[in-house]
Chains A and B, each alone.
Chain A
Amino acid sequence: AQSVTQLGSHVSVSEGALVLLRCNYSSSVPPYLFWYVQYPNQGLQLLLKYTSAATLVKGINGFEAEFKKSETSFHLTKPSAHMSDAAEYFCAVSPTGGGNKLTFGTGTQLKVEL
């Protein structure tokens, strides 16, 4: 079964600093990978996705993620954090074979401080 592990349930950065949220996947073949953001009392919004095209994926709000097969990682980055980036971030995986079930990581809460 495929899964993702998010390292660090809470990450705190200063405004203007680099954001790095870590995600490692477990799969026998490279899967589809996603990052979602959840603002308080809202649903989940797709930030970006990896579907076996370019390994460096750019998303909305200045976020990007790089797929590294050798490290089984799909870390999310943003060069300069903004106060509005404070939210819960989820990494998710779905199979490239049969089915389209999305399995989520446990989430990372990002706090942005002045």
Chain B
Amino acid sequence: DTAVSQTPKYLVTQMGNDKSIKCEQNLGHDTMYWYKQDSKKFLKIMFSYNNKELIINETVPNRFSPKSPDKAHLNLHINSLELGDSAVYFCASSPNKGNGYTFGSGTRLTVV
């Protein structure tokens, strides 16, 4: 009964390919997020959805497109993958302010 689950856990792909990462939460939270963790462990927010509505869209290339079919799911699609996209991508969810986030276990994306 994983609270926030991401698939796949590992993703190795060639430059130029398109790939998707899926995220699902069973906590009943209204808000979901995507974070990118680079090779130096720095965490940066990419997107946030509240009840299927986009509320945070940081400076992220247009090749990245989030999709939220319902409030329990937030998927991340990446077009034309580049070497610099290699990172660990974390999905997270939160109920409301002040409660912090619950994170998934991450998807390690390697672009070769």
A residues in contact with B34, CB < 8 Å:
none
Please, which residue of chain A has its CB at the minimum distance from the CB of B45?
Answer: A101
> How far, in whole Å, are A41 and B103 apart by their CA atoms in the complex?
13
The stretch from A11-19, A20-28, A65-73, A88-96 touching chain B is: A88-96
A71 to B97, CA, bound (A): 24
CB–CB A100/B103 < 8 A: no
- A107–B100 touching, CB < 8 Å: no
Q: How far is the CB of A97 from the nearest CB of chain B, in Å? A: 9
In the bound complex, do residue B106 and residue A43 qualify as a contact, i.e. CB atoms below 8 Å apart? yes
Known A-B contacts A32-B98, A46-B100, A106-B41; A101 and B106 likewise in contact (beta carbons under 8 Å): no
A94→B43 contact, CB < 8 A = no
For residue B20, CB closer than 8 A to chain A, the reply is no
Q: Is A56 an interface residue (CB 8 A)?
A: no
CB-based nearest B residue for A52: B98
Answer yes or no: A45 CB below 8 A from chain B CBs. Answer: yes
Please, how many residues of chain B have a CB less than 8 angstroms from a CB on the other chain?
Answer: 26
User: Are A100 and B94 interface neighbours, CB within 8 A?
Assistant: yes
Q: Are A43 and B104 also in contact (CB < 8 A) when A96-B97, A100-B94 are? A: yes
The bracket for how many chain A residues form the interface is 20 to 34
- Give the residues in chain A near B43, CB-CB below 8 Å: 44, 90, 104, 107
CB atoms of A100 and B96 under 8 A apart:
yes
* Residue of A36, A44, A88 with highest tally of chain B CB at under 10 A: A44
CB of B48 within 8 A of chain A?
Answer: yes
Query: Contact check: which of B41, B55, B101 meets A102 at CB < 8 Å?
Result: B101
Report B-chain residues with C-beta under 8 Å of the C-beta of A101.
45, 48, 56
Other 12 A-B pairs with CB < 8 A, given A43-B103, A45-B103: A34-B100, A43-B90, A44-B92, A44-B103, A49-B99, A96-B97, A96-B98, A99-B56, A100-B31, A102-B101, A104-B43, A107-B43
Closest 3 pairs (CB-CB, A-B) = A43-B103, A51-B98, A104-B43
Interface residues of A (CB under 8 A from B): 32, 34, 36, 38, 41-46, 49, 51, 88, 90, 92, 94, 96, 99-104, 106-107, 109
